[in-house]
Chains A and B, each alone.
Chain A
Amino acid sequence: MEEQLAELMAQVTALKESSGVTNTMFAETFYYLTIPLMIIIHAGFLAYEMGSSRLKNVLSSGVKNILAFAFMIPTFYFFGWWVYWGFPTGLPGAPGPAGISGVEYANSIAWGWGESAQYMGPNIADQASGVFFGAFALFAATTASIMSGAVIERIQTVGFVILAIVLGSFAWVVAAAWGWHADGWLVTQWGVHDFGAAGLVHAVAGFFALGVLINLGPRIGKFNLDGTANHIAGHNMPLTVTGLMLIIVGFWGFLMACVIIPGEAWSWFADKPSTIYGTPITLSALSFNILMAVAGGIIGAWVLTRDPFWMMSGALAGIISTASGLDIYFPALAFMIAFSAGIILKPCADWLEKRGIDDAVGAVTVHGTIGLYGVIMLGVFASGYPALQGAAGEVATISLIGQIVGAVVFFLCGFVPGYGVSWILKKVGMLRVPHGAEIAGMDLVKVPGHGYPEGIPAPAVNLAPGE
């Protein structure tokens, strides 16, 4: 009898260990797979931007986009990851209530040297740090890609890469530390809730781009002397629209990576997934709401524009306008919010254009304006939801005021560094290519190749009106 009991205990112990290994492998694989899905976002942005460029600029737009991605990864490794863990409570980087933040904590896990380096490289006892880093690094690369489209056809390569590094490895990371971390002061003090990063990724990137665009100036030929705008058509709309659809595919990986898997030492729950804030969520909720949001955005944009570019931008706007609350929206409400975002998209983009801003792909509107719209919409519909785990009355709750405060902070986290750094680059002559180079075409100037060496039926030099 005793022997049988001992044998049973040994079997139970072995089963527990084996199920632990299975959970760990599942968790690691889950985040690993979000990375290639998010790289599809970059395939999408690549197609989108190259299609939106005129023939003479097509490859240089691609080079810019690819190089931004390439510089995001090492710079996020060098210091971006440290910023996220170091500053949720703000300066000077004190530890937060959940015990997973502060400069001291960040120093112990996020530097590529010393003791910290064990969590920044291959480690048989650590099956989480690398895949988390990877997911966040792809978020960083996404912010750079958002900015990338707005500034095509006239920005200098190295100046652009510097801006991308500031945005992707610093600006959005500060916003994320403050508003996308259980210790973040926006969360603990104001109840800010932004599950899918509408504010801290999309709005930050969109308004960073606005800051840059103000200093960069419009493309030659975009505006007439009387201030009216000319449409500068990209050379390949089908490529652009297909790229936008690829971004939608990649978005599923992005939103998947916003979920914290259960059952690990670092998990919030043993038995259910959670948001980054430790509040419960299910992939089922995401499935319902993302699909309804994509649909609502497309339908809203079709009603007003009938244009496939704006319809697919509407799909993006649909997701971004509901991203903050994809964990808690009722699907039909997500559809309605997304539909409204699709409706307001083109008027918002036109409003910006009337003010002399040449945003080549509508990035400021789709990501910036709609991102803030989404953050605030959640305050309208989800007031009273607890922002963190804890007893009633002891944790902050979501509120309209809190979401507005979050929106203002996200706007500033994007606009201020975008405007400031691009102003400095302009002063040192590193922002915009010279007039003659812009007329000749960036491919001739920057790229040792031709986009279409056998030619496609098009004028040899593709001039916009007024060039």
Chain B
Amino acid sequence: MGFPYDEASWSVVDGAMFMGWGSAVPGLYTFIACMICVAVLVYGQRSEAKKTKAFTK
């Protein structure tokens, strides 16, 4: 986390400049974001199905 260059100065920045660049952290964030999307869809499907069941009796 934090500034991804050894020296805390913008003059050394010559490429990626987001926090975590150069570590495994961005990959972890990407994985978590994917999992959030999947979890929301699974949870959403279950709760919507439950609601619609009440109208199919």
Does A122 count as interface, using CB distance less than 8 angstroms? no
Residues on B with C-beta less than 8 A from A43 are none
Residues on A with C-beta less than 8 A from B25 are 330
Does A328 count as interface, using CB distance less than 8 angstroms? yes
A281 to chain B, nearest CB (A): 9
**Cα separation A381 to B33 with both chains bound (whole Å):** 16
**Cα separation A329 to B19 with both chains bound (whole Å):** 6
B54 to chain A, nearest CB (A): 15
Contact of A336 among B3, B17, B29 (CB under 8 A): B29
Contact of B19 among A296, A336, A339, A382 (CB under 8 A): A382
B30 to chain A, nearest CB (A): 4
Residues on A with C-beta less than 8 A from B26 are 330, 332-333
Q: Chain A residue with minimal CB distance to B37?
A: A299
**Cα separation A397 to B7 with both chains bound (whole Å):** 12
Q: How large is the interface on B (under 10, 10 to 19, 20 to 34, 35 or more residues)?
A: 20 to 34
Contact of A386 among B9, B20, B32, B44 (CB under 8 A): B9
Contact with B along A302-314 (1 / 0, CB 8 A): 1100000000000
Does A69 count as interface, using CB distance less than 8 angstroms? no
> Assuming A279-B10, A280-B10, A329-B18, is B1 touching A336 (CB within 8 A)?
no
* A386 touching B19, Cβ below 8 Å: no
Which residues of B13-42 have CB atoms within 8 Å of chain A's CB atoms?
13, 17-21, 25-26, 29-30, 32-33, 36-37, 40
* B36 touching A299, Cβ below 8 Å: yes
A202 to chain B, nearest CB (A): 22
**Cα separation A335 to B18 with both chains bound (whole Å):** 14
**Cα separation A391 to B29 with both chains bound (whole Å):** 30
A298 to chain B, nearest CB (A): 10
Which residues of A227-266 have CB atoms within 8 Å of chain B's CB atoms?
none
**Cα separation A292 to B44 with both chains bound (whole Å):** 20
B35 to chain A, nearest CB (A): 10
* A392 touching B2, Cβ below 8 Å: no
Contact with B along A270-289 (1 / 0, CB 8 A): 00000000011000010000
**Number of residue pairs A-B, CB distance < 8 angstroms:** 76
**Cα separation A328 to B30 with both chains bound (whole Å):** 16
Residues on A with C-beta less than 8 A from B19 are 328-330, 333, 381-382, 385
* B9 touching A336, Cβ below 8 Å: no
* B17 touching A330, Cβ below 8 Å: no
* B43 touching A383, Cβ below 8 Å: no
B22 to chain A, nearest CB (A): 12
* B2 touching A385, Cβ below 8 Å: yes
B3 to chain A, nearest CB (A): 4
Residues on A with C-beta less than 8 A from B36 are 296, 299, 335-336, 339
* B44 touching A392, Cβ below 8 Å: no
* A392 touching B9, Cβ below 8 Å: yes
Contact with B along A379-400 (1 / 0, CB 8 A): 0011111100111110101000
**Cα separation A332 to B27 with both chains bound (whole Å):** 9
**Cα separation A389 to B10 with both chains bound (whole Å):** 6
**Cα separation A390 to B20 with both chains bound (whole Å):** 22
* B11 touching A332, Cβ below 8 Å: no
Does B49 count as interface, using CB distance less than 8 angstroms? no
Which residues of A326-354 have CB atoms within 8 Å of chain B's CB atoms?
328-330, 332-333, 335-336, 339
Q: Chain B residue with minimal CB distance to A329?
A: B18
> Assuming A302-B44, A385-B3, is B11 touching A335 (CB within 8 A)?
no
**Cα separation A303 to B40 with both chains bound (whole Å):** 7
* B20 touching A330, Cβ below 8 Å: yes
**Cα separation A112 to B18 with both chains bound (whole Å):** 42
B17 to chain A, nearest CB (A): 6
Contact of A384 among B8, B11, B32, B44 (CB under 8 A): B8
Residues on B with C-beta less than 8 A from A392 are 7-9
Q: Chain B residue with minimal CB distance to A389?
A: B10
Residue in A279, A381, A386, A393 whose Cβ sees the most chain B Cβ within 10 Å: A386
Residues on A with C-beta less than 8 A from B1 are 381, 383
B27 to chain A, nearest CB (A): 9
Some 19 contacts from A to B, beta carbons below 8 A apart, are A302-B40, A329-B18, A330-B18, A330-B25, A330-B26, A330-B29, A332-B26, A332-B30, A335-B33, A336-B33, A382-B19, A383-B2, A384-B3, A384-B8, A385-B3, A389-B10, A389-B11, A395-B9, A397-B8
Supply 10 further A-B pairs (C-beta < 8 A) apart from A332-B30, A333-B19: A302-B40, A302-B44, A330-B18, A330-B20, A330-B21, A330-B29, A332-B32, A336-B32, A382-B19, A383-B2
Q: Which residues of B contact A (CB under 8 A)?
A: 1-3, 7-11, 13, 17-21, 25-26, 29-30, 32-33, 36-37, 40, 43-44
Q: 8 tightest CB-CB pairs across the interface, nearest first?
A: A384-B2, A332-B29, A332-B33, A330-B18, A384-B3, A392-B9, A332-B30, A392-B8
